[in-house]
Amino acid sequence: MAEFVRFEVEAGIGTIRLDRPPVNALNKQMQEEIRAAAHEATERDDVAAVIIYGGEKTFAGGADVKEFAAMSYADMLDRAPGLSSSLSSVAEIPKPTVAAITGYALGGGLELALAADRRIIGDNVKVGQPEILLGIIPGAGGTQRLARLIGPSKAKDLVYTGRFVKPDEALSLGIVDEVVAPDDVYRAARGWAEQFVGGASRALAAAKAAIDGGLDNDLASGLKLESHLFAGLFATEDRTEGMRSFIENGPGKATFTGK
């Protein structure tokens, strides 16, 4: 059983729950437990959407600096790919994902949040990529996902300075998507996730693959990927049911089975 990360499922919603007090510092063990939870979320048919949550106090304060400080260049050369891929496993979950952020999402914590499709924060939260203050750079997606999300110039400002960003600026920059009262963070994330329970799961997976895959390529390649995924959905039972229901009953009334 995992020590620092739990995967809990309730009413079709999976929660990857970080639990390494006091600030959910992401050490190697925790990173691998996140990977395992992401894989379970991917494989379980009873999970329609996923929340990543660090509890009521802190999402994740960053990597375990004490663990990093003890590592040599050779050590990190071996470890860096696994560090990055452990958080990428969250991005690869083929279902809607949302980070419910309380307290802080700094360094590796923000990188984990960036791996989700959506980010909801409390109005007292601070986010940032402060690795430069340690003499390093983000190493688990921060230079890549942040730049793709908000543009290279804004991402460079945050990475170069290492400054902490408050909720209003985080929202205006596009780092986060919604700001709510601190006590409402998980509830708001769950409310967003619940709309996908009973949804057309194969179409949702295809939509995510098309958007994410398209961003990694030029427009022409993205359009080819979209066409391939679009055509593939015509082999699903959900497509048949969705169109039958639309013709007979109008939009939004189909019953999908995920097949």
Catalytic residue flag (residue 248):
no
Catalytic residue flag (residue 237):
no
Edge-to-edge strand ranges of the sheet holding 97-101: 5-10, 13-18, 49-53, 97-101, 118-122, 178-180
Q: Which of 114, 107, 118, 101 is nearest to 147 (CA)?
A: 114
Q: How many CB atoms are located within 10 Å of the residue 66 CB?
A: 9
Q: Which of 118, 150, 193 is nearest to 128 (CA)?
A: 150
Catalytic residue flag (residue 10):
no
Given the residues 63, 99, 116, 206, select the one marked as catalytic.
63
Given the residues 54, 100, 107, 111, select the one marked as catalytic.
111
Given the residues 116, 131, 142, 203, select the one marked as catalytic.
131
Catalytic residue flag (residue 67):
no
Q: How many CA atoms lie within 13 A of 168 on its CB side?
A: 0
Given the residues 103, 107, 108, 139, select the one marked as catalytic.
108
Lookup: tokens for 153: 């110039």
Please list the active-site residues.
63, 108, 111, 131
